[in-house]
Structure 1
Amino acid sequence: MLTMLLILLGLGVLAYLAALLRVVIPQRAVPKPEAVLLGGVTNFFDTLGISSFATSTAWVKFRNLLPDRLIPSTLLVGHTGPAIMQAIIFLVLLGGNVDPVLLVGCILGVLAGAVLGASLVSRAAVWLVQAMVALGLVIAATIFLLINLHLMPGAGTASSLPLPLLLGAIAANFGFGVLVNFGIGNFAPTLIMFSLMGMDPRYAFPVMAGSAGIAGAGASIRHIQIGEVDLRVVTGIILGGIPAVLVAAFLVKNMDVVMLRWLVIAVVYYAAVVMARSAWAGFKQR
């Protein structure tokens, strides 16, 4: 099944690249230098467990690099390239240790949710997208806060789940896939869910990374077809993010990220408040 997942991931890579190049080349979308730096920094720490979605959204909002409506779709398409690289690494290193039914089921669940939920962002009102992004930021920052305060549930040692929990995990990952389209990354929710279910948190990484890579490719193709993305930011994030993932994965073994999380918490909460205020203003004017 691991081989099947890697083949599926490879097909996703080809489809993702084909869809992206089909629009990037005719429009001559030159990467924004700031987006290259953003992709490098955020994806480096994403590989270490600090969400690239939350930190990227905070910076994009702070710098006004994108209209609010384009933030979720642009970041999803841009971060999918680095996410695919993470997926290959974690599936090869740890994928063989995870129950194959759980691994494949959860990844396909996220893929289905991401593809079916892609159209929701383009159809949703701007204030609703802003509200969902604000919610995602609050969730991410709160998770970081709980981790730093040692309030996260204790992790187990299991590599598989009994049937009821397995089905629940697959259903939950479908929901995570839908939320990915609104800028809410699946890493932190998946890690918490598996920890609560008694699994070894290390085994969440093949599921999280595999889901992000495969589902991200599927959802990204839809967003590219819809056209609600900033291609200069997308290409910048990809260009900076992929080398950063390789550096983080192969050169960094045990880095203390607690202090970095405190900084991220402050920045992300600030961005969430700003986004929520914009959503409230838009809601009142609808």
Structure 2
Amino acid sequence: MVAALLTLLGALLVYYLFYFIRDLVKNKGNWGNGSWLISGAIGFVTDFLDTLGVGSFAPTTMLLEITKQLDDDRHLPGVLNISHAIPVMMEAFIFITVVKVAPLTLFSLVVAAIAGSFIGSKFVTKLPERKVQFFMGCALIVTAILMALRQLGMLDLLGAGNEATALTGGALVIGIVGNFILGSLMTIGVGLYAPCMAMVYMLGMSPLVAMPIMMGSCAGLMPVASANFIKTGDYNRKVSLGITIGGIIGVIIAAKFVTGLDIEVLTWIIIVVVIYSGITYIRKGLQPARVAE
């Protein structure tokens, strides 16, 4: 099953690269404005953070705004997806091959997230975005508190080990349903990383196991979305390529850092990430709803 998953991701990567390289060649000399150095630095920082589970979209958006790399804000969605597609795919390949996860668990949860993003999105996009973000944020904060109490030895509810690398029976069903829902929620701006980390931990699995699951899920989604932006030309080629190159370097360094961490240290990092994400979602949820133009 792991081989089948890697084959699927590899095929999606080839699909994405075909359109990306062809578009760069076709538009040689017309790659847009921006700085190679700044874009590369943005890619390095954001994909380093992405490998730690922080996510790359929000930091990239912030840094692009600060550095004024984009002349047209309409190119932002395309740049976010295209520039991070290869780094996220690398993250998935690295963690799927390095971190031990039961093949059935890994394959089931990744496919569930991919299916959720395509099938469930037809229904989830009709939900009130701000309310979903707010309640997801609250749930993440509560989860982070429970995780912290467990780490401090003040709560036995979450079990004694958190060393499992597989889900079975009812826990596997919960994981599949949960990741399907998380895949669906991605369509309205609720990132999969932090909720997936929290879910995996709450189901008793090792915190490190969340990495291949959440990265494999996103790696299956981004190439398709990126290809669509490339076909329409709605992105800045120079900035996207610069971020991609810097991001690849960031992933390689961060992956060595993460896989070498003690589980106790990694768990505390995840707690911080979950709290950060929870606060971000709550802030988004409290903003006025966007009015359709």
1:176: which partner in 2? 182
**Hey, what does 2:44 align to over in structure 1?**
40
Please name the residue that 2:288 is paired with.
280
CA distance in 2, matches of 1:209, 1:148: 24
The equivalent of 1:107 in structure 2 is 110
Q: Which amino acid aligns with 1:240?
A: G
Which range moved further: 144-153 or 58-67?
144-153
> CA 1:41/1:216 → structure 2, altered by over 3 Å: closer, same or farther?
same
Q: 1:172 deviation in Å?
A: 2.6
Deviates further, 175-184 or 2-11:
175-184
Aligned to 1:80: 85
1:146 deviates by 3.7
Q: Secondary structure at the match of 1:156?
A: coil
Distance (whole Å) between structure 1 residues aligned to residue 73 and residue 121 of structure 2: 16
Q: What letter is aligned with 1:91? A: I
Q: Is the 8 A contact 1:76 1:183 kept in 2?
A: no
* Contact 2:198-2:274 at 8 Å conserved across structures: no
Of the candidates 89, 94, 97, which is equivalent to residue 89 of structure 1? 94
> Does the CA-based 8 Å contact 1:115-1:215 persist in structure 2?
no
Query: What letter corresponds to residue 42 of structure 2 in structure 1?
Result: L
Q: Using the alignment, how far apart are the partners of 1:14 and 1:30 within structure 2?
A: 24
CA offsets per residue over residues 29-49 of structure 1, 9 Å max, x none? 258333221111111122223
* Separation of aligned partners in 1, 2:235 and 2:22: 14
**Structure 1 residues without counterparts, runs of 5 or longer:** none
Distance in structure 2 (CA, Å) of the matches to 1:70 and 1:93 = 35
CA contact (8 A) 2:120 2:181 kept: no
SS at match of 2:148: coil
TM-score (norm: length of structure 2): 0.72
Q: CA deviation at 1:219?
A: 3.0
Q: Structure 2 vs 1, CA of residues 164 and 262 (structure 1 numbering), >3 Å: closer, same or farther?
A: closer
Q: Which amino acid aligns with 1:98?
A: V
Shift of residue 208, structure 1, vs aligned partner:
1.5
2:57 to 36, 53, 59: 53
Number of residue pairs matched?
274
Between Structure 1 and Structure 2, the one with more helix by share is 1
Match of 2:31 in 1: 29
What TM-score do you get using the length of structure 1 for normalisation? 0.73
The CA RMSD over aligned residues, in Å, is 4.3
Change (3 A) 1:262 1:57: farther
Alignment of 1:199-214 (within 5 A): 199-214=205-220
Alignment match, 1:19? 19
| CA 281–168 in structure 1, closer or farther in 2 if over 3 Å, else same | closer
Tell whether 2:251 aligns with 1:245.
Answer: yes
Task: Measure how far apart 1:170 and its partner are.
Answer: 2.0
Q: What per-residue deviation string (whole Å, max 9, x for no partner) do you get for residues 87-139 of structure 1?
A: 11111111xx322222111111222334558899xx99xxx98x69x949x94
Q: Percent identity?
A: 29
Q: CA deviation at 1:267?
A: 11
Query: 1:165 deviation in Å?
Result: 3.0
> Which moved further from structure 2: 69-78 or 40-49?
69-78
Which has the greater radius of gyration?
2
**Contact 2:141–2:274 (Cα < 8 Å) also in 1:** no
Q: What pairs up with 1:131-150 in 2 under 5 angstroms? A: 135=133, 139=137, 146=144, 150=148
Q: Would the alpha carbon gap of residues 268 and 162 (structure 1) be closer, same or farther in structure 2, given more than 3 Å must change?
A: closer
- 1:198 match: secondary structure: coil
Q: 1:208 to 1:149 in 2, by over 3 A?
A: closer
Supply the distance in 1 between the matched residues of 2:19 and 2:255 (Cα, whole angstroms). Answer: 27
Structure 1 residues 63-72 or 230-239, which shifts more?
63-72
